[in-house]
Structure 1
Amino acid sequence: MPPPRHPRSPLTHAQVVDTALTILARVGLPDLTMRAIGSELGVQQSALYHHYANKQALLGSVADEILARGSRTPSHDATWQERVRLRCQDLHAAVTGYPDGADLVMSMWAFGMGAQAPFDELRGLLADAGLPDDVAPTAARTLLHFVYGHAYDEQSHAHATRSGIVTAHRTPSDFETGLDIVVTGIAARLPD
């Protein structure tokens, strides 16, 4: 729980996002409400609307922060394929670091309300590797669809198992194999 604020200290964007992340980590996306955030901060829910026009705008900032807080594996001397794989692994770890993190980040990116930086970075890496300008954006989107979709599948299955909905044992994650398949497919699109 964040420390109580002095009544005269102004509420900041960072405090709102930090509190939202705390609630997300504790209870997941369905219970991440403006009312819960306001209660945790000790302010009326209406005070949050001075910082964010609506809940979706706040969730876009939360998605950006989830990605910003994720680790970055150094890849200075790596090939473009290794850099793409490492970035995708880091993104996968970032979104699975919070309950429903994949759902939140994937949704905000799909709605164009946040989480744009990974797409821009991957598109740049792929363009630098020589992928044509008309293919690099599609390849970057494909990578993110795989990363976020795989993470969403993992988190959904884990939630269903905790809830007793699913009891069947699942095979270990095939994320690395799937990522290799996608990167190999992208490499095949490079000009000769």
Structure 2
Amino acid sequence: MPESAESPRGALSRQRIIRAAVELIERDGSDAVSMRRVAAALGVGTMSLYNHVPNKAALLDGVAEFIMADMAFAADPDAAWQDQTRALARTFRDIALRYPRSVLVVTTRQPRSTVGLQPVEIALAAVRKAGFDDRVAVRLVRTFVGFILGSLIHQVSVAEAGTAGLDAVDKAALVAALEQAQYTNVRDLLPVLAEHDHDGDFEFGLELLIGAMQSLPRDG
């Protein structure tokens, strides 16, 4: 049952509106978000939202800030840059798994507050402290974000496929088709391809990237 604006949880506020939008995005996707639907979820009139959030764009900006602010970055600034990188990447992945659909909203909107830019500041500080020049520092941060989002999309797609994935296909027919197409490597590795160790894959990729970083030139 929708909660009223005067429910025990408190009066209508920007924070409650943003949280309702996040819940709606996680359930139905960002395309489903509208001021009307958020108001309905809160059990209030649509016009009452405009006292706190002027429009849908501001609502989505608020969602992006909410997600970024929820990242509890615990990287020790005195730790080696490799350890800082691991901590930051794992934290970003954790929040991405908690809010997979909302994180995609974050990536499509420019942060408009210091709250939204805090994780970027921490990540850039870590790579610059390691001695990478400015352009490389920015590219490294973008590369890690791309890697984390890619692993998230893969994990979510596997989960949503469920029994419709590789495990559910007719193995004999698939092997025959692969042999006919001379896809011998795919045929030989079908059992491995059917496995999904998301945590293991992420850690493997993370260490691969850190190893690549170590080979890049640095100042000092």
- Structure 2: distance between partners of 1:27 and 1:61: 18
Structure that is richer in helix per residue: 2
How far did 1:6 drift?
2.3
**Number of residue pairs matched by the alignment:** 185
Aligned pairs for 1:62-101 within 5 A:
62-73=63-74, 75=76, 77-101=78-102
Aligned pairs for 1:22-33 within 5 A:
22-33=23-34
- 1:4 paired residue number: 4
Deviation string 1:100-123 (CA, Å, 9 cap, x unpaired) is: 133222223xxx146433222211
How far did 1:146 drift?
1.4
The match for 1:171 among 180, 193, 196 is 196
How far did 1:16 drift?
0.8
Deviation string 1:165-184 (CA, Å, 9 cap, x unpaired) is: x4224421211111122222
- 1:187 paired residue number: 214
- Structure 1: distance between partners of 2:27 and 2:34: 13
- Structure 2: distance between partners of 1:6 and 1:12: 11
* 2:49 corresponds to 1:51: no
Q: Which moved more, 1:114-123 or 1:173-182?
A: 114-123
How far did 1:26 drift?
4.0
Aligned residues of 2:100 and 2:152 also touching (Cα < 8 A): no
User: Unmatched 5+ residue regions in structure 2?
Assistant: 167-193
Deviation string 1:136-180 (CA, Å, 9 cap, x unpaired) is: 111111111111222123223323x15x6x422442121111112
Q: Which moved more, 1:150-159 or 1:89-98?
A: 150-159
- Structure 2: distance between partners of 1:55 and 1:157: 31
How far did 1:131 drift?
0.9
How far did 1:88 drift?
0.9
Q: TM-score, normalised by structure 1?
A: 0.79
Letter in 2 for 1:89: R
Q: Superposition RMSD on alpha carbons, in Å?
A: 2.7
Letter in 2 for 1:171: H
Q: Which moved more, 1:118-127 or 1:39-48?
A: 39-48
Q: Which moved more, 1:85-94 or 1:144-153?
A: 144-153
Q: Which is greater in Rg?
A: 2
- Structure 1: distance between partners of 2:209 and 2:54: 38
Q: Which moved more, 1:172-181 or 1:59-68?
A: 59-68
User: Unmatched 5+ residue regions in structure 1?
Assistant: none
How far did 1:185 drift?
2.0
